[in-house]
Chain A
Amino acid sequence: MAFLKVNHLKVYYPVRGGFFRRIVDYVKAVDDISFELRQGETYGLVGESGCGKTTTGRTIIGLIKATAGEIVLEGTDLTKLSRRQFYPYRKDIQMIFQDPYSSLNPRKRVLDIVAEPIRNFEKLSPQEEKRKVQYFIERVGLNPESIYKYPHEFSGGQRQRIGIARALTLNPKLIIADEPVSALDVSVQAQVLNFMKEIQEEFQLTYLFISHDLGIIRHMCDRIGIMYRGRFVEEGTCEEIFRNPQHIYTKRLLSAIPNADPRQRRQQFHLREEVEREYKQSYHRYFDDDGRVYPLKKISETHSVAIP
C-alpha cells in the first residue's frame, strides 16, 4: 500500500467579476492530479513558476484547502478530517521552507524555534525539552551550545539546518521540502542536500521534494512528476525522465537546462532548436483544443505520459 496517495486533487480559486462580484471563472492552480509516495523514497515535483507544485505541497500539509480529491496518508483521507481530527496528523508531515531568512522568527532563540512543535504536541519538562532540542541541533551539525543564539547569528546554510531540526523534532514520516536550497549559494546548497540525504536514511524519512532546478532534482529524487499548468505531464523514475523523456514539455524543460560542458555548446543549441521545432509542429499531439494537458497514460510499469 502506498504511504501517501494523492487522488484527483484539485485546488481551484474563484475569479470574481461583474457588478455583484459573482464567480465567473476558476483559476485551476492544481487541476486533477494523482500520484503516490512510497515509504522512504524521495519524490520530486518539478515545474516552472506557477505550475502548481507549491500549491500541491501546501495542500498536502493542510495549509491550503483542497477543492476536491483525496490525500490519503497511511489509509486516512486527510481532506475529510475536521481541524481537530487533522491535528495529530500534523506531527507526521513537516515542511522545510525555501527562504531560511524569513522562515525563522528573528526575535526567538534557536531553542524556542526548534522547541515550538514539541510544545504544541508534547508535554515535556524544560530539561527534557532542552535535551531534545540539543540532540537535534547536534544532529544537524550545529554546536548544542548555540541554542541560546538568535537566527541572525547564523549563516544561510546553518539557518536552513535549524529549519530542518525544527521539522525533525516530532519524528515526522513525511517531509515536504519546498525549494529548500534555492535561496542558498552553490557551495552551501551541496552541504544542505548531502545532509538531507543523510538524515533521510537515519530517520526513515519520505521526501516530497519541490524544485525548479532539474540538477538538484536529478541528484535527490527517485521518482519525478513534471507539472505544467496545474497538471502532470509526465511521471517516472529519475532515469526514465532524464534519459527517455516522452512529453514535449519535458523535452523542452530538459533541453533548456544549461549544459555545463562548454564543448557541447553547439550540440545543446541545436537540440533546443530541434525540440522547439517539434513543439510547434506537434503541439496538438500533446495539448487538447483548450491548451490543456491530457490525462496521464501508463507507457510502462513506472512511466506515465500525458498523451491522448
Chain B
Amino acid sequence: MLKFILRRIMMMIPQLFILSVLVFLLAKAMPGDALTGQLASNPKIDAQTLEEMKEKLGLNDPVHVQYARWMKNLLQGDLGISYIHKQPVNDLLAGRMWNTILLSAAILILTYMIAIPLGIVSGRWTDSWADKLIVGYSYVSFATPLFIFALIMLFIFGFKLGWFPTGGSVDIQVEKGTFAYYLSKLNHLLLPALSGALINTVGTIQYLRSEIIDTKVKDFVKTARAKGVPESSIYWRHILRNSFLPIAAFLGYEITGLIGGSIFLESIFSYPGIGQLFLQSILQRDYSVVTALVMISGLATLIGTLLSDIILSAVDPRIRIE
C-alpha cells in the first residue's frame, strides 16, 4: 500500500513538471506582463524607469532562465510575489485556501446528505411517484447552470428574505477564535454551499440510482433472497454496499470538480477563496498568482485521483494494492 502511494507520488513528478512548463509558457505568451496594466498607463513613469523595473524583476531574461528561477522558488515553497497585491503569493493564499477547502468540504457533505437518500429511494422504488419526482429534480438541476442558480439563490435568500449574508466569509466584528466567530463562518458558508450542493447532486443521484437498479437484479441478490434474508437486510447488506462502490471511487474526481465550481460560487457570493482570487488575477494579469493557482489545482487533481484509488481499494476487496 505504502509502496503504491509512493509510486503514484513519484509518477506525479513528471506530470507536474509538464504542467508547470505549459502553465509558465502560457503565462509568458499572454500579451502584456505584470507591469503593463499597472505602470505603463501611468504617465508619471517614463519608458526608462519601466525598463529598469523590468530588468530588476528579471522580465528581460531568456525564458528558460526565468522558468528555472520560478521553478527553484516553487520547489522551496515560494510561489512568488503578486505584483498587484504587492505581497507574497503564499500570504495571499493562506487564508483563502482554508476558505475554499471549507466551502468544498461543505458542498461535498451537503451533496452526499441530499443525494444519497434520494438516490436510494429512487433506485429502490423505481417508477414510483417519489422516483419520478427525484428524477425530475435531477434533470432540472442538470439543466440549470451553476452561476444562474447561485445568483437566484443569492437574490432570494440573501437580498429578498435576508436570511443569509450576501458576501464575505465571516463578520468583521466578531473576534477570531470565539464561538460566535465559527457560527458566523458557518452562516456565511451555508448559502454558497447549499447552492453548489443542490446543483452538484445530480451526478451522485443518477449514479446511485442506476447502480442500485443494476445491482438489484444481480445473481448474488437472488442468492441472498434464496437464503431467506429479509428484504431490508437485502438492501443494506447486499445491494447498497455494492452500489456505493462507484460513488466512493468518484469522490476524488468530485474534489477536482469542486475546484472549478468554486470560481463561480466564490465570485457570485463574494466569498474570499482561491476561486475568486483566480478570476481576479486573470483579469488583472497577475500571472504569478495565476500560475501558482493552476499548479495548486493540478496538484489537487492528482491527489484527488490518488485518493479515489485508495478509497476504492479500501472498500472493494477485489482491488488490492500491493
Task: Give the nearest-CB partner of A17 in chain B.
Answer: B322
Does B56 sit at the interface, judged by CB under 8 A? Answer: no
Instruction: Decide if the interface of chain B is mainly helix, strand, loop or mixed.
Output: helix
Which chain A residues border B3 with CB–CB below 8 Å? 19
Which chain B residues border A17 with CB–CB below 8 Å? 322
User: In whole Å, how far is A13's beta carbon from the nearest beta carbon of chain B?
Assistant: 18
Task: Give the nearest-CB partner of A20 in chain B.
Answer: B7
Which chain B residues border A19 with CB–CB below 8 Å? 3, 6-7
A292 to B3, CA, bound (A): 33
User: In whole Å, how far is B243's beta carbon from the nearest beta carbon of chain A?
Assistant: 26
User: In whole Å, how far is A276's beta carbon from the nearest beta carbon of chain B?
Assistant: 30
User: In whole Å, how far is A162's beta carbon from the nearest beta carbon of chain B?
Assistant: 30
Chain A: how many interface residues by the 8 Å CB criterion? 2
Q: For residues 10 through 31 of chain A, which have their beta carbon under 8 Å from a beta carbon of chain B?
A: 17, 19
Q: For residues 1 through 18 of chain B, which have their beta carbon under 8 Å from a beta carbon of chain A?
A: 3, 6-7
User: In whole Å, how far is B13's beta carbon from the nearest beta carbon of chain A?
Assistant: 14
A243 to B59, CA, bound (A): 89
Task: Give the nearest-CB partner of A18 in chain B.
Answer: B3
Chain B: how many interface residues by the 8 Å CB criterion? 4
Interface code B298-322, partner A: CB below 8 Å = 1, 0 otherwise?
Answer: 0000000000000000000000001
Interface code B3-45, partner A: CB below 8 Å = 1, 0 otherwise?
Answer: 1001100000000000000000000000000000000000000
A19 to B6, CA, bound (A): 9
A194 to B3, CA, bound (A): 57
Task: Give the nearest-CB partner of B3 in chain A.
Answer: A19
A17 to B322, CA, bound (A): 9
User: In whole Å, how far is A17's beta carbon from the nearest beta carbon of chain B?
Assistant: 8
A17 to B321, CA, bound (A): 11
A17 to B3, CA, bound (A): 11
A17 to B7, CA, bound (A): 12
A19 to B9, CA, bound (A): 12
User: In whole Å, how far is A151's beta carbon from the nearest beta carbon of chain B?
Assistant: 24
Which chain A residues border B6 with CB–CB below 8 Å? 19
Which chain A residues border B322 with CB–CB below 8 Å? 17
Task: Give the nearest-CB partner of B7 in chain A.
Answer: A19
User: In whole Å, how far is A194's beta carbon from the nearest beta carbon of chain B?
Assistant: 34
User: In whole Å, how far is B6's beta carbon from the nearest beta carbon of chain A?
Assistant: 8
User: In whole Å, how far is B10's beta carbon from the nearest beta carbon of chain A?
Assistant: 9
A87 to B259, CA, bound (A): 50
User: In whole Å, how far is A41's beta carbon from the nearest beta carbon of chain B?
Assistant: 42
User: In whole Å, how far is B14's beta carbon from the nearest beta carbon of chain A?
Assistant: 14
A19 to B3, CA, bound (A): 7
A49 to B7, CA, bound (A): 35
Task: Give the nearest-CB partner of A21 in chain B.
Answer: B7
User: In whole Å, how far is B161's beta carbon from the nearest beta carbon of chain A?
Assistant: 53
Interface code A114-155, partner B: CB below 8 Å = 1, 0 otherwise?
Answer: 000000000000000000000000000000000000000000
A221 to B322, CA, bound (A): 46
User: In whole Å, how far is A78's beta carbon from the nearest beta carbon of chain B?
Assistant: 38
Task: Give the nearest-CB partner of B4 in chain A.
Answer: A19
Q: For residues 250 through 283 of chain A, which have their beta carbon under 8 Å from a beta carbon of chain B?
A: none
User: In whole Å, how far is A302's beta carbon from the nearest beta carbon of chain B?
Assistant: 45
A20 to B7, CA, bound (A): 8
Task: Give the nearest-CB partner of B10 in chain A.
Answer: A19
User: In whole Å, how far is A18's beta carbon from the nearest beta carbon of chain B?
Assistant: 9
A28 to B3, CA, bound (A): 27
User: In whole Å, how far is B4's beta carbon from the nearest beta carbon of chain A?
Assistant: 10
Which chain A residues border B7 with CB–CB below 8 Å? 19
A134 to B255, CA, bound (A): 57
A7 to B322, CA, bound (A): 38
A17 to B6, CA, bound (A): 14
Task: Give the nearest-CB partner of B6 in chain A.
Answer: A19
A96 to B6, CA, bound (A): 46
User: In whole Å, how far is B51's beta carbon from the nearest beta carbon of chain A?
Assistant: 51
Task: Give the nearest-CB partner of B322 in chain A.
Answer: A17
User: In whole Å, how far is B30's beta carbon from the nearest beta carbon of chain A?
Assistant: 39
Interface code A185-218, partner B: CB below 8 Å = 1, 0 otherwise?
Answer: 0000000000000000000000000000000000
User: In whole Å, how far is B101's beta carbon from the nearest beta carbon of chain A?
Assistant: 32
User: In whole Å, how far is B173's beta carbon from the nearest beta carbon of chain A?
Assistant: 55
A239 to B322, CA, bound (A): 50
Interface code B256-290, partner A: CB below 8 Å = 1, 0 otherwise?
Answer: 00000000000000000000000000000000000
A17 to B4, CA, bound (A): 11
Q: For residues 213 through 227 of chain B, which have their beta carbon under 8 Å from a beta carbon of chain A?
A: none
User: In whole Å, how far is B80's beta carbon from the nearest beta carbon of chain A?
Assistant: 35
4 example contacts (A-B, Cβ-Cβ < 8 A) are as follows: A17-B322, A19-B3, A19-B6, A19-B7
B residues near A (Cβ < 8 Å) are 3, 6-7, 322
A residues near B (Cβ < 8 Å) are 17, 19
Sorted nearest first, the 4 A-B pairs with minimum C-beta distance are: A19-B3, A19-B7, A19-B6, A17-B322
